[in-house]
Structure 1
Amino acid sequence: MPKVLIADKMSDSAVEVFHQRGVETEVATGLSAEELKQKLPGFDGLAIRSATKVTRDVLEAAGDLRVIGRAGVGVDNVDTDAATARGVVVMNTPGGNSVTTAEHAISLMLAMARRIPQADASTKAGKWEKSKFQGVEVTNKTLGLVGCGNIGAIVAERARGLRMKVVAYDPYLTVERARDLGIRRVKNLEDLYAEADFITLHVPKTEQTTGMIDKAAMQQMKKGVRIINCARGGLIVEQDLADMLKDGHVAGAAIDVYDEEPARENPLFELENTVCTPHLGASTSEAQEKVAVQVAEQMADYLLTGAISNAINMPSLTAEESAHLGPYMTLAEQLGSFAGQLTESGVQKVNIEYEGAVARLNTRPLTQAALAALLRPMLDSVNMVNAPVVARERDIEVSEVKHERDSDYQTLLRVTVETERQTRSVAGTLFGGDKPRLVEIKGIPIEAELGPHMLYITNEDKPGLIGALGRTLAEANVNIATFHLGRQSRGTDAIALIEVDDAMSEQTLEKIRGLDLVKQAKALRF
């Protein structure tokens, strides 16, 4: 039974989902980094929110970990590169708190525009400072969206309901999508800065977006602009914003996320023209329930069926796709493993080709399965998640090609490996829709089913090999299960692929290599 550690506070519904699916859970929140490192070994999954930091050191201590599930959108508290290198899938729940976060952004905008928090505190203190808290209307004002994904689109919809004009900058926003949302797309941030009365941020924290709202950016904005950030801390240079708020160029700011959290001290807290909340964007009962259930379902699906959804470092794979791709995955792994076990020098290029029915499927998981199996005989701890990273680190060029051309088979998958010494290919198909078969090795036609113990031989195509090989195996008390032969043409190179009942000793292999006509003999395991 898979085991999941829930390291941050989340709805009890997550535990219920895991238990219903047959996944064992343990809840241990508030762990320090050292406590987490000691706790993680033995767990297949780690469910977190924003409090737990999954660093490289933590991951190195988590030898059994297969998946990290973040109940929320941002994953900047997870070292995704380190997780990928260790073969750990990192998932989030991008749609689970979209409505809640969007509503919080709108709430902050209105609270800032009408100075509601300040007026509330003053009134409760027994004052009646009506003229002090004069605000501004949002009607007919221009709202600038920096980022228009799930959350940004909901903010746009709500803002239009408030009779605001909405402009957006997002490199991935199409003209058609903007038209459907009833907003206008601008070509660059400078154009947005020049016309927006309010600016709200809805982008992830990356190298490109960190510190994007600095003094230089704010100087390009309209005097009197108001800024909202419910996205990620670090997008705004906080001291620059504080300075611009003091000199009046920025009229107000409504901030929910900070460079350092929990934020005990911050230059923005000292100012009267700010509204600050403690990372409440996703803090509604509905959102907490939704993301907890979603992350539990996603993690359980992966641990129990191999289905992958909302992963940061893996292609998505539904449960239905996983079941349908199962035989293809087996074939891809067998072909990759076959090529990998025969490879004795440095790999330079790997090309994976798909023909026929398989070319119309989701082939990315197949490519990663074949690549992982290919690299595994040479490298430890390689799996589908980290295989592309391992290949890049070793300057192995990996390509994937889909052919629409007709094939001799209804479906065909070919793995070609180029090493420092030679180029070798192996191809296979599915018989009956689910039975993997090798159909070609080094361009030589052959039809073979792979068993646990295989003997691969390349030889000269001359009489006498089969008899000599049979005697050698018999003398070693090795029984032959199946025997498959192939050759390019009469008298040229030939191959033999033999399934045997038991593993062969190195001594027996040396005797086979010493037989006349044998060029290469290698034991393979599947």
Structure 2
Amino acid sequence: MKVLIADSIDEKGVENLKEVADVIVDTKITPEELIKTIDQYDAIVVRSRTKLTKEIIEKADNLKIIARAGVGVDNVDVDAATKKGIMVVNTAESTTVTVAEHTMGLILTSARKIAIADKSVKSNKWEKAKFMGTELKNKTLGVLGMGRIGSQVVSRCKAFEMDAIVYDPYLPPEVAKNMGVELVNEVHDLLKEADFITIHVPLTPETKDLIDEEEFEIMKDNAFIVNCARGGIINEDALYNALKENKIGGAALDVYENEPPKDSKLFELDNIVLTPHIAASTNEAQRDAAIIAADEIVEVFKGKTPKNVLNLPAVDAATFQIVKPYLNICEKVGKFISQSITGKIKELEIIYCGELAEIDNQEILTRSILQGILAPVLNRAVNTINAPTIAKSRGIAVIEGKQCDVTTYDSVIKVKATTDEDSLYVEGTEILEPKIIKINDYNVDVKPDGNMFIAKYRDIPGTIGAIGTQLGKYEINIGTMQVGRDKIGGEAIMVLTIDHEIPEKITEAIKTLDNVHEAFALKL
């Protein structure tokens, strides 16, 4: 395996990668050089300097993972990576404490006018009366976004005996209660009550200009607002007017709409503290970012899924323990369908039953089914990252549902595939190992693994023997056999595991036998 480190990271991360891979460190590589050489690498580590554009990613034929040693991935075309089947990870947890501490620093600096007092003293002035401050004790902290960083800020502010109200539409009320914070339903409710407001949400179309002129009118006239999240969440023109007209007490920014904020009007004001996007800049955070990035790459090289993948659905630890045993059977069912059905698949109907029906999100399971369906028929890499995108581009409609009336097994995955010419229904489960338990209307007990052979035939005496004789004629040894039928003398199906791959000519010969309707070989 070969890894390119395209931006400077802590040496500890480099050392960890060298234990498992051939590591090339080129922190001055140009876009022109990168587009020519990116196909040589299995993994790449970047920070902010290197831009992984669509054009570069499309040339990355062997790349398995892009590791951003930091939080944002603005410099990575995630959509292009997803279509290419490349994992994109970041190291968000590495900066949690660091950003929370910087937020506290800005809150304290604003409340006690530390920055302008420092400037005054260094100008040989002694203006004590000018720098009357505000205590944090008994004040209300308003937190927009209670993720990793927001919750850490709350923890630290409680040490200053502050109360906390939070707005986060994804935070369950019982979790908020356990954290000792009051959960409000609207942003404006928070803005009306808070003495200090801190922002910890991503920049999205919904959060762009989240704090604008109307919001500043709502705030208390002595309120302070801090942003260490992303520039653009606060409208800077509206902020300038609010500060200049003393509609709020003060502000502190570490992030800006345009970086660096050249010749910003905010520079004129004394009631704002400005830092150059350094909330995540500590030795400890940079060290941890490098280690985490390296660890994620090592996981991929081990054939495992890293925990910080941005282009895979997020699955909490408890849910993952439930779905993990079924990922294999989902992929196997997909492969089985892909190689057993005639025609181009137009629609997939997937029903999750039993324990799997009770979890909130089955997306990772559906992705595994799609991976199994698409991989055997495409001459390109297909994985759980790009499978949904490829399925959509091929016109495959996916319908998902839940059904809880399962008594025999803990969970069952039911998949019906439909083409213009055919349809196929398969049920699978996990009982110590993957099992296919139903094919169309036939109950079976099949381990979907290795070389397999399926024949559909009329249930007439001698048909099974004829098929076996034909296989024996060509020295194809049968490992296991499962047969199912709808009724005596009716339609039947035979599923074999065999020791060797069956040549096409043998399959065609079996199709010519009396009472055999269909025959095909599979490799799972």
TM-score if structure 2 supplies the norm length? 0.86
2:350 corresponds to which residue?
351
Shift of 1:468: 4.8
**CA, structure 1 residues 328+144, in 2 after alignment: closer, same or farther (shift >3 Å)?**
closer
In the alignment, which of 224, 227, 238 is matched to residue 226 of structure 1?
224
Q: Which moved more, 1:277-286 or 1:495-504?
A: 495-504
- In the alignment, the residues of structure 2 paired with residue 123 and residue 451 of structure 1 have an alpha-carbon distance, to the nearest angstrom, of 77
The answer to whether the Cα contact below 8 Å between 1:459 and 1:520 also exists between their aligned partners in 2 is yes
Instruction: Give the counterpart letter for 2:146 in structure 1.
Output: C
- In the alignment, the residues of structure 2 paired with residue 427 and residue 197 of structure 1 have an alpha-carbon distance, to the nearest angstrom, of 58
Provide, for residues 325-381 of structure 1, a one-character-per-residue CA deviation record: whole Å limited to 9, x for no partner: 887544332221011112313331231545589999997644432221012344443
- In the alignment, the residues of structure 1 paired with residue 171 and residue 357 of structure 2 have an alpha-carbon distance, to the nearest angstrom, of 32
The answer to whether the Cα contact below 8 Å between 2:477 and 2:500 also exists between their aligned partners in 1 is no
Q: Which moved more, 1:102-111 or 1:305-314?
A: 305-314
2:386 corresponds to which residue?
386
In the alignment, which of 79, 82, 100 is matched to residue 81 of structure 1?
79
Provide, for residues 428-470 of structure 1, a one-character-per-residue CA deviation record: whole Å limited to 9, x for no partner: 4567x24x44443212133444554433221222245345545
2:239 corresponds to which residue?
241
Provide, for residues 476-502 of structure 1, a one-character-per-residue CA deviation record: whole Å limited to 9, x for no partner: x45243454332222111223345555
- In the alignment, the residues of structure 2 paired with residue 23 and residue 361 of structure 1 have an alpha-carbon distance, to the nearest angstrom, of 38
- In the alignment, the residues of structure 1 paired with residue 523 and residue 494 of structure 2 have an alpha-carbon distance, to the nearest angstrom, of 16
Consecutive unaligned residues of structure 2, counting only runs of 5 or more, are none
1:72 corresponds to which residue?
70
| Cα RMSD for the two superposed structures | 3.5
In the alignment, which of 209, 212, 221 is matched to residue 211 of structure 1?
209
The answer to whether the Cα contact below 8 Å between 1:478 and 1:502 also exists between their aligned partners in 2 is no
1:425 corresponds to which residue?
425
- Quick check: 1:406 aligned with 2:407? yes
1:11 corresponds to which residue?
10
**CA, structure 1 residues 317+195, in 2 after alignment: closer, same or farther (shift >3 Å)?**
closer
- In the alignment, the residues of structure 2 paired with residue 271 and residue 442 of structure 1 have an alpha-carbon distance, to the nearest angstrom, of 73
Matches within 5 A, 1:322-333: 328-333=326-331
Q: Which moved more, 1:491-500 or 1:413-422?
A: 413-422
1:370 corresponds to which residue?
369
Provide, for residues 224-260 of structure 1, a one-character-per-residue CA deviation record: whole Å limited to 9, x for no partner: 4322100112212223322332333244221111223
The answer to whether the Cα contact below 8 Å between 1:461 and 1:491 also exists between their aligned partners in 2 is yes
- In the alignment, the residues of structure 1 paired with residue 367 and residue 134 of structure 2 have an alpha-carbon distance, to the nearest angstrom, of 55
The answer to whether the Cα contact below 8 Å between 2:345 and 2:396 also exists between their aligned partners in 1 is no
The answer to whether the Cα contact below 8 Å between 1:342 and 1:522 also exists between their aligned partners in 2 is yes
Instruction: Give the counterpart letter for 1:189 in structure 2.
Output: V
**CA, structure 1 residues 410+281, in 2 after alignment: closer, same or farther (shift >3 Å)?**
closer
Shift of 1:194: 1.8
Instruction: Give the counterpart letter for 2:264 in structure 1.
Output: N
2:522 corresponds to which residue?
524
Consecutive unaligned residues of structure 1, counting only runs of 5 or more, are none
Instruction: Give the counterpart letter for 2:88 in structure 1.
Output: V
Shift of 1:386: 2.2
The answer to whether the Cα contact below 8 Å between 2:350 and 2:413 also exists between their aligned partners in 1 is no
In the alignment, which of 293, 307, 310 is matched to residue 308 of structure 2?
310
- In the alignment, the residues of structure 2 paired with residue 461 and residue 135 of structure 1 have an alpha-carbon distance, to the nearest angstrom, of 91
- In the alignment, the residues of structure 1 paired with residue 170 and residue 493 of structure 2 have an alpha-carbon distance, to the nearest angstrom, of 52
Q: Which moved more, 1:29-38 or 1:155-164?
A: 29-38
Instruction: Give the counterpart letter for 1:418 in structure 2.
Output: T
- In the alignment, the residues of structure 2 paired with residue 229 and residue 133 of structure 1 have an alpha-carbon distance, to the nearest angstrom, of 22
Shift of 1:87: 2.2
Instruction: Give the counterpart letter for 2:13 in structure 1.
Output: A
- In the alignment, the residues of structure 2 paired with residue 320 and residue 30 of structure 1 have an alpha-carbon distance, to the nearest angstrom, of 42
In the alignment, which of 76, 83, 101 is matched to residue 99 of structure 2?
101
The answer to whether the Cα contact below 8 Å between 2:345 and 2:417 also exists between their aligned partners in 1 is no
Shift of 1:424: 1.7
- In the alignment, the residues of structure 2 paired with residue 335 and residue 16 of structure 1 have an alpha-carbon distance, to the nearest angstrom, of 41
- In the alignment, the residues of structure 2 paired with residue 177 and residue 503 of structure 1 have an alpha-carbon distance, to the nearest angstrom, of 55
In the alignment, which of 49, 57, 60 is matched to residue 59 of structure 1?
57
The answer to whether the Cα contact below 8 Å between 1:308 and 1:317 also exists between their aligned partners in 2 is no
- In the alignment, the residues of structure 2 paired with residue 437 and residue 170 of structure 1 have an alpha-carbon distance, to the nearest angstrom, of 42
- In the alignment, the residues of structure 2 paired with residue 486 and residue 191 of structure 1 have an alpha-carbon distance, to the nearest angstrom, of 64
**CA, structure 1 residues 375+398, in 2 after alignment: closer, same or farther (shift >3 Å)?**
farther
- In the alignment, the residues of structure 2 paired with residue 510 and residue 212 of structure 1 have an alpha-carbon distance, to the nearest angstrom, of 65
Provide, for residues 257-279 of structure 1, a one-character-per-residue CA deviation record: whole Å limited to 9, x for no partner: 12233444433334333211111
Instruction: Give the counterpart letter for 2:151 in structure 1.
Output: A
Matches within 5 A, 1:123-138: 123-138=121-136
Shift of 1:108: 0.9
Of all paired residues, the percent bearing the same amino acid is 37
- In the alignment, the residues of structure 1 paired with residue 53 and residue 396 of structure 2 have an alpha-carbon distance, to the nearest angstrom, of 26
- Quick check: 1:396 aligned with 2:393? no
Shift of 1:195: 2.6
**CA, structure 1 residues 456+182, in 2 after alignment: closer, same or farther (shift >3 Å)?**
closer
Shift of 1:197: 2.8
2:114 corresponds to which residue?
116
- In the alignment, the residues of structure 2 paired with residue 331 and residue 472 of structure 1 have an alpha-carbon distance, to the nearest angstrom, of 31
- In the alignment, the residues of structure 2 paired with residue 230 and residue 382 of structure 1 have an alpha-carbon distance, to the nearest angstrom, of 38
The answer to whether the Cα contact below 8 Å between 1:306 and 1:322 also exists between their aligned partners in 2 is no
Matches within 5 A, 1:439-518: 439-450=437-448, 452-466=450-464, 468-469=466-467, 473=471, 477=474, 479-482=476-479, 483-499=481-497, 502-518=500-516
**SS across alignment from 2:493:** strand
Instruction: Give the counterpart letter for 2:166 in structure 1.
Output: A
**SS across alignment from 1:40:** helix
Shift of 1:144: 1.8
The answer to whether the Cα contact below 8 Å between 1:309 and 1:317 also exists between their aligned partners in 2 is no
- In the alignment, the residues of structure 1 paired with residue 305 and residue 278 of structure 2 have an alpha-carbon distance, to the nearest angstrom, of 31
- In the alignment, the residues of structure 1 paired with residue 457 and residue 317 of structure 2 have an alpha-carbon distance, to the nearest angstrom, of 44
Shift of 1:518: 2.4
Instruction: Give the counterpart letter for 1:6 in structure 2.
Output: I
